[in-house]
Each structure stands twice: as structure tokens, then as C-alpha cells.
Chain A
Amino acid sequence: MSALKFVLRHTPPSAVDVSGLRPALLAGKSRKEITKLPLTGWNEIHRVGDLFSIRGDDAQRVVVDGADERLLRIGAGMEGGELTVVGTAGDYLGESMRSGTIVVRGDVGTFVGAGMRGGRIDVSGNAGAFAGSGRAGTLQGMAGGAIVVRGNAGDRAGDRMRRGLLLIEGNAGDYCASRMLAGTAVVLGRVGIDAGYLMRRGTLILGRSPAELLPTFNHNGWHDLLAIRLLLESLTVYGKRFQSFARSRPSLSRWLGDLGCDGKGEILIAPGRP
């Protein structure tokens, strides 16, 4: 059996919700049935076969090839299986997923992994704003699983994050880990302004010193605690850059805050170039 592959024929005129192309919903369906599945755009219902040419047959391994930013909610609600995206994915990739793996060879839009509960998302390129956050109106962001962004993430990465791992190899935008509730976010590159704003709990690890920290974070000394070392060690499975970061055994500068919001969060900063 070969991976079930959907190759985008043409850019649709408006954004299309393609959350239907996930393993659990495709399993056991014939090619003909899959061809006829509806995908919702703006006042138009596309048939899968109209938007995509289809190859392969293994619904546990789905590939969306030639993806476009108008493809929304790829892999949303995934409950197992593998999904590979080649190209640029739209907003809400992996929203509310519970398990399984999504690999993106390219960039993703905003709200990647919004409200996800488990599983893993690995993005080779950049992610838009609100990576690992939650939909407008919800009180919690991602609550489990792992998101790895090999490139840069936009503003508000880890906003309202509740549990799980958000790993960014490149830079993150402004207000990183805003309103964070728990969990761990790591940014090996630079962060923008006001990291940790309204952070209540949780851990933000920065590979480089930010230009400025909010005045409502207090310095708590330098740490090489066992707990932190174990945490860093656990990151080594997420690729070489996290391996080398963990194995450099950095002594981390610990800042506690946001004291304007309960103040039980921590920002751990590795020494090095700002």
C-alpha cells in the first residue's frame, strides 16, 4: 500500500476547509467515495476529486501535495495516523488534534495546533501568529502534544498555552507566551517585545537574551537545576538543534513573572549573544 496522496489541481477561489482529509475520515472509503467527499468553501461545495488528483490507497498515511494557504484546517481533529503536507498550509493546521503526526514541508498559517490535545506537528518552515494558541473566545491554547517549528514563529506563540511543548528553532515574534497558563515553550532564536506578558504559569526557555524583559519579571538567579536539565534532555528527540542546545548544558538565568498576573511563570534565558 502506498500513501494516500492528494495533489492540489488548482488554487480554489476562496479558502476551503479540508479537515475532512484526515486519516480517520478516509479510512475504509473507496477511491470513488473519497472523490465525492464534499469540502466547504465560501458559498461553494467542492468535491475532493475536483480540487485534488488522488493517488495511493493507505489512509493511515495521507499526503497533501502542492498545498496552498487557502487550504484551512488541514489535519484538524486528527485522532491518529500520519499526514504530510507539501507546500504552504493555511490557518488552523492541526486544530484540536488528539493524536497522530502532521509533518509540513513548507510554511503554515496562523493558529497552528490551536487547542490541540495531543500528537505532534512538525513544520519545516515558518509558522504564522498564535502558534499553539486557541481559537478566539476560548480560554486555553494547546493542552498537550508537541509543535516544532524549524523556522520562525509569528507573534503570540504559545498564547494561553495550557500544557505540552512548543519548540521554535528560529525566532518568535512579539508577546511570545502571552497569557501562558502552563506547559513549556522554547525559542532558540530571538523573541520580539514583551515576552511573557500576562503569563500566569509555565516555562519559556530562550536561547538568546531578549533586548529587554518586562519590568514585572524579577531575576531569580542562575540555575542548572536537575529538573531543568531533565527538561532539556527531553528535548533532544526533537532534532539536532535542540540536542546541541541541551548538550551545551547552559546555566540558565531565571526570571519569575508576570507579577502583574499571579507571577508563577518563569522565563529561563541561556547566556549568549542578545
Chain B
Amino acid sequence: MLTRFVGARVIDPVHATPDAVRDLYVRDGRIVSGPRDGEPVHRTWDAAGAIAMAGAIDLHTHIGGGKVNIARGLLPELGREHPLAATEVCGACTMGPAPSTLATGYRYAAMGYTACFEPAMLPVNARQAHMEMGDTPIVDKGAYAMLGNDDFLLRLLADGADRREIRDYVAWTLHATQAIAIKVVNAGGISAFKFNQRSLDVDEAHVHYGVTPRTILRELARAVHDLGVPHPLHVHSSNLGVPGNVDSTLATIDAAEGLPIHLTHLQFHSYGTEGDRRFSSAAARIAEKVNASPNVSVDVGQIMFGQTVTASGDSMLQYRNARHGRPAKWVVMDIECDAGCGVVPFRYRDRDFVNALQWAIGLELFLLIRDPWRVFLTTDHPNGGPFTSYPHLIKLLMDGSFRKDVLARINPEAAAMTALGSLEREYSLQEIAIMTRAAPARILGLEDHGHLGAGAAANIVIYEPHPDPEVMFATPRWVFKDGELVAERGEVKAVPQGAIHTVKPDFDRGIERRLKTWFEQHHTQSLASFKIDDEEVCECGRAPRLAVHACRARSS
């Protein structure tokens, strides 16, 4: 079965002609260079005048796992206000601040996204995370396992363990939880909070283990690098949301000692303490450092005005920020000698000084960081705002005059403290395609995603050009997932199940002996119960297949 797409302007930054009108061919869910000799074309889609891009990829979106489900349970009054009615192919569900898994799959697909990555999977909660992602239809999924607050690693570091041991433990975790990357959240801080430590700076010692965040960051970044995991250590820095956290963010970059790291929701970590309110933008300093550090990639975590809910592993900072939350109900959890979580609803208001400045800081970062291959479009869904606001965010990036209009409406004190008004940069379609497709695929090691070359998965989005980019990106004309039409003009047409993406680096299984003893002494489940094998993850995750991506081990 050969399908042809005719006449679209293909924006495909990975290839030699990144912007050209050309035909695309799809056979068995894959893009091919063209028909074989005499092969008939079974179906032709007329895309003349339209724009084709690869399916978009969200590399940081909280779509599955216990804390998202706590957020849903916490806010039923907001969920029931936003029902998504059943259709021929979709089940009834809701699209509240923490949308249901069904709504998440439907709306992402309708918006042209074909792969989503849960960035904060607690290893002890991995089964549930995979189950929730399994009930998130259409899109492909993957998850980053959280380390760096687990008592096992902190004990290893406190005891001055051998780097090989740390590397084996990291690899073992990726296997046991079926993850594609490793994330660290407030390195050591979540654990320190359990010992009643209320803040932890990059060079401050954990009150019980004596280890500093700098050590944790360095050792994890090295382990991930040495194992050859494609995605660098995914870092949620210390002091999230705290005025003046620019210093700890810069120290975090230094802690990597030149090894690749990815700083996530950077907006929440780019705050100074200038001005009467002791809260200011430090985006320029951060951007300068990122521009000068080729080992660093970032995603922004833009905030969008409106009601949302923040769900984070960072129990220490969520507890600290909970008093700002609205509606005033929140959950903080210590979790199983592994990590923690905090769920706090927020209502970001454009007339509020802090919220307005946060909004501006996010946009400053987008505009000041030069390389679109190293800055990704996220709202840290749902923490900064729902993923459904991406088209609006794209418009803010592409349309300078629109941006200035909005800037004129926000809290004037905040507007006066941002350089946003002087930043003229406007993103091109090409740059949007890089930051939402090509670059996330590359940084995750997904060889067959994020581009439209032969061999790629036939995840194709056909947009109708429109003077308003928000309109164009909100409702693509067609979205194809593995060659199948899944959405048309915002309406879901088919509900296939996506694959699970993982990595499985080589390691010495001897580490399990030490882990087995640790589990027996400290945990409340056995090591065998903890591990998820391939068959089980496909059952939990309802995945037709497991996509295992290559790791190229490096020695150091």
C-alpha cells in the first residue's frame, strides 16, 4: 500500500532541502523515497498549498504517573467543568487543568503531536506511569526515570562508591523501569526535606548523607554520558521558583563539568532579586551562559495565564510554594525512599506582578537563546499551562507585534522590568519545526522521528497556512500517525495505540546483589516485584511495540 502526499511545502530541517515543495510517499507506516518500479499509488492526498511537517514531539509533559493522577483527583470541580463529549471514536472524558489520559491523547494528536515524554517517572511508581501512558491513546510515549533523591544512590555517594557502581545502578534503573532517560529533580533536596531540611543549595550538604547537589549532578551526568544514553541528564535545578535562583542555576551548569545536560523548565530557574519587590528577570544572564555552553540544552516551561495545576517531584519546593496556590488545596508526599511529589493548583494572572514577570522571563529565554536546536517549546504541562496553549505560544514567538500587544496588557510594573519589548526576534516556521520536531527527536535519540526522510515513521502533519500562526497550529488539516489519518481539522478520526520508547544500555548485573540486600533491609516490596520486563510493560502500556533506542557506551 503506497500513499502519496502531493504538493505540500515540506518543512523538514534535518534534510538538505529543508523547505521545498515536494511529494511524500508512505508505505506500511513509513516514509519511503518513492514508488518501486511499477508500484501503484493506492491513495493520494492533495496537499497543494499546504505545509507539511513531521509529527511534533513534546519532550517534557507530565502525562502519566501518580502525581498527575493526584492532581486530577484533587480538582474534580474543574475537571467536570471541562467535559469532552464522546464521539464516534472517542470516549467521554474531561480536559481540566490535569486532563484525563484519554483527553491528553486526543488533544495532542489533534494538534499534530505524535510523541510525548513523561519527564518525571518515579521508579517505584513506574508501573502506574506506564499504565496511564498506555491509556493515553494515539501518541507514542516514553518516560524519564527520576534518580538523585533515592536513598540507595545517596548512600552510594556518601560511601564514596565507585563510578562503575553508580553507572550500573543508573543502567539497572533504566531497564527495571523501562525508561528512555534519567532525570534529577532538585538533586538531594527531596530527600533532605524528609529530614526537615527546608532548602538545599548546590554546594550545601544534605543533612543526613552529607552529599551536595553538585556531586549528585556531576555523578549522574557522567553515568548517563558514559552509558551512552542519547538524552543527556535531564535536570530540574535546585530552588525552583525562588527569587535569586539564577545563581544556583548557573552553578548547576558548572556542576556538569562540560558533560551534556538538559535544563528543564528553565523559566522557573531564571529569577533575580532586583527591584523593589526583590523579584526580577535573570533571563539575560542565563541565556548568555547557555549560548556559551554547547553541552547545555534547555526547555523553557513557559507560563500561560489562567488556571492550572502544578505537579512536581520537588516536594521541598512545592511545599514552600504551596501558600501561593489557588484554589488553596494541595498535596505533598514523601515517597518510598525514592522521591516525593507535590501538587499545587495555580492561577496565573496577567495583572499579577510576579506571574506577569514569569511570563516575560519565559519569552526572554526563548528569544535570547540563539540556537533553536538547544531550546525546546514547553509549558512543562500542566505546570506552566496546558499543552493546548502551544499554538498561542508559537504565535507569541513568531509574531513580534502580537507579543508587544500582550506585553502592553500585563502588569505594568512587570512590563517595566522586562527587556521583552526590545527583543525583535521572530521565530521562523523553520525554527518552530526544529524546536518542536527535529531537535527533540535528535536529543532523545529517536532516529526515525522528527523528520520526513525515507525510513522515518510516517507521522505527518498537514497545516493550512494562515496569517495567524495560532490558528494554523491549533487545528492542522490532517494528522497522520504511522501513516494512518488520526485527526482532521481538530477532530479525532482514529484511535490507534502508540509505541513505548526506551533505552537498554549494557551494564554489569552484579549490582543486583547489592540492590537485593538494600530492598530487603529498607523497602516494602521485593526487588523482583519492582522490576518491569518487556512483556509486562507492553501489557501495562498497551503498546503494540517497544522501540528500544541505541546507546553507544563511552569510556571515561
B326: nearest chain-A partner, CB-CB? A139
A139 touches B328 (CB 8 A): yes
Provide the residues of chain B in CB contact with A135, threshold 8 Å.
77
A137 touches B76 (CB 8 A): yes
A139 touches B327 (CB 8 A): yes
Q: Cβ of B75 < 8 Å from any Cβ of A? A: yes
Most buried by B among A136, A137, A138, A139: A137
A136 touches B328 (CB 8 A): no
The B contact surface, by secondary structure, is loop
How far is A136 from B76 in the complex, measured between Cα atoms in Å? 8
Provide the residues of chain A in CB contact with B327, threshold 8 Å.
138-139
How far is A50 from B16 in the complex, measured between Cα atoms in Å? 67
Q: Cβ of B425 < 8 Å from any Cβ of A? A: no
How far is A137 from B345 in the complex, measured between Cα atoms in Å? 13
The A contact surface, by secondary structure, is loop
Chain B's nearest CB lies how many Å from the CB of A181?
11
- Taking CB atoms and an 8 Å cut-off, the chain B residues in 38-78 that contact chain A are 75-77
Provide the residues of chain B in CB contact with A138, threshold 8 Å.
77, 327
Provide the residues of chain A in CB contact with B329, threshold 8 Å.
139
Provide the residues of chain A in CB contact with B77, threshold 8 Å.
135-138
> Count the A residues whose beta carbon is within 8 Å of the partner chain — how many?
5
Chain A's nearest CB lies how many Å from the CB of B69?
15
How far is A138 from B345 in the complex, measured between Cα atoms in Å? 13
B322-349 interface mask toward A, CB cutoff 8 Å, 1 = contact, 0 = none? 0000011100000000000000000000
How far is A139 from B75 in the complex, measured between Cα atoms in Å? 10
A137 touches B328 (CB 8 A): no
Chain B's nearest CB lies how many Å from the CB of A200?
12
B75: nearest chain-A partner, CB-CB? A137
Provide the residues of chain B in CB contact with A136, threshold 8 Å.
76-77
- Taking CB atoms and an 8 Å cut-off, the chain A residues in 87-141 that contact chain B are 135-139
- Taking CB atoms and an 8 Å cut-off, the chain B residues in 302-328 that contact chain A are 327-328
Chain B's nearest CB lies how many Å from the CB of A119?
21
B77: nearest chain-A partner, CB-CB? A137
Provide the residues of chain B in CB contact with A139, threshold 8 Å.
327-329
Q: A136-B76, A139-B327 are in contact. List 4 more A-B contacts (CB 8 A).
A: A136-B77, A138-B77, A138-B327, A139-B328
Question: Could you give 11 example pairs across A and B, Cβ below 8 Å?
Answer: A135-B77, A136-B76, A136-B77, A137-B75, A137-B76, A137-B77, A138-B77, A138-B327, A139-B327, A139-B328, A139-B329
Q: What is the interface of chain B, defined by CB distance below 8 A to chain A?
A: 75-77, 327-329
Closest 8 A/B residue pairs (Cβ): A137-B77, A137-B76, A138-B77, A139-B327, A135-B77, A139-B329, A139-B328, A136-B76
